[in-house]
Chain A
Amino acid sequence: MRPAAQSLFAAALIDPERPLPEGITAARGKAADRRFAVYRNTVTVTRIDALAAIFPAIERLVGQEAFRSLARLHLVEEPPASPVLFEYGAGFAALLERTEPLRPYPYLADVARLERAWLDAVHAEDALPLDPTALGAIPQERLNDVIFTAHPATRIVESRFAAVSIFSASRGHRPLDGIRPQEPEDGLVTRPGHTVEVRRLAPGAAPFLKALIRGETLAAAASHTLASHPGFALPAALSVLLEAGVFTACTLLPARME
């Protein structure tokens, strides 16, 4: 076998316009076209099916036919790099964003980001969420300097559209009536127990949680958020933080040297 034989086989697999790779044959002098097509179909169909399993809400939103066309585009642009298929599809949201026929539906990309985040959370490392008493045990005068450790499942998707409501309705097979797509919604994805949860965050909560995830202190994150979102409700954001299991631990920055 020539050294690059699998390259030719691979190229013919994903491009139906190409002729059969040289040296491919069948018994008793039969033709091999329909035979090779079994590999072609399996490669394309199962990889499209994999994307459909990752993005069921998108498939429902755009319809099966359009979804499979989009998935084919994605396969060409960004074929799966690894046999671990539940990690596939990171670039699918970006494809939706720049695909011309989808311009009237600009919320689709953020719904896809939520779906990808949801699956990340399903497979994330196990960790116990922060015990609220650990936060309660910190002396009041030191709360400024609290920093948090993010739970491995935590993901935040900020959207200029009603991505969380649309995601939730589509996954729940509910009609989308009553949803105002242009209402901004930030989504929080967590896995506090064994089940992935998706929450809609109040305005300001997403940048606040993202600042904490980046390692900012509680005081710095709260201050920055209040500066950019004057109506930000800190107690509610802290409640969500605890209830949703956004973090696993909180610690104090070492006391500053005066």
Chain B
Amino acid sequence: MSNTTLISASALASAVAMALTGATVLASAGSALAATEKCYGVAMAGQNDCAAGPGTTCAGTSKVDYQGNAWKSVEAGTCTTMSLEGGRKGSLEPLERDMPA
């Protein structure tokens, strides 16, 4: 597979060396490398470490599930409150319609 190598052994070695030093530097905040990396590689941990997903229940519920399946649009979600450039909302459709045919 490495017959088609586009990257030289020395380039690879220097990339690994940079990463190895970078890995240690990234751990301490405020480094130059961390600054250049701030758009990427920034971890977003889940909101709740306890959230292991749905737990089982051996209980019943008195909640009634409504039967209706009819729905046409996403009206109450944050999708529709997302403001996009040009005052558009979170739907991508108007954006697509603006594109030249």
Give A residues with C-beta under 8 Å from B.
16, 37-42, 44-46, 48-51, 53-54, 56, 59-69, 72-73, 83, 85-86, 88, 101-108, 118-119, 122-123, 132, 135-136, 140-141, 143-145, 164, 168, 170-173, 175-177, 179-182, 194-202, 205, 216-220, 222-223, 226-227, 234-236, 238-244
Contact = CB atoms under 8 A, between A and B. Distances in A.
A258 B92 CA distance: 56
Contacts of A194: 49
A222 B14 CA distance: 13
A63 to B, nearest CB: 3
A64 B74 CA distance: 9
Contact of A243 (B41, B44, B78): B41
Interface in B1-18: 1-2, 4-7, 9-16, 18
A101 B40 CA distance: 33
B77 A239 contact: no
Given A65-B76, A104-B92, A105-B92, A53 B53 contact: yes
13 contacts: A49-B54, A132-B20, A132-B23, A141-B9, A143-B13, A144-B5, A170-B78, A171-B46, A175-B82, A200-B39, A219-B1, A222-B7, A239-B37
How many B residues are at the interface, by size bracket? Answer: 35 or more
A33 to B, nearest CB: 13
A242 to B, nearest CB: 4
Interface string B7-50: 10111111110111011101100000100010111111111010
Contact of B54 (A53, A66, A170, A234): A53
Contacts of A69: 68-69, 71
B63 to A, nearest CB: 5
A101 B73 contact: yes
Given A141-B9, A239-B19, A54 B53 contact: yes
Contacts of B81: 175-176
The 5 closest A-B pairs by CB, nearest first: A63-B76, A238-B19, A86-B53, A104-B91, A63-B77
Nearest to B89: A104
B54 A85 contact: yes
Nearest to A234: B15
A243 B92 contact: no
A-side interface mostly:
helix
B74 A222 contact: no
Contacts of A218: 12, 16
Given A198-B43, A199-B44, A239-B37, A219 B5 contact: yes
B21 to A, nearest CB: 9
Contacts of A49: 54
Nearest to A16: B67
Given A143-B12, A235-B18, A239-B18, 17 more contacts: A16-B67, A41-B62, A46-B61, A101-B74, A107-B92, A108-B79, A122-B52, A122-B53, A135-B20, A181-B82, A182-B92, A196-B45, A198-B43, A202-B41, A220-B1, A226-B6, A236-B19
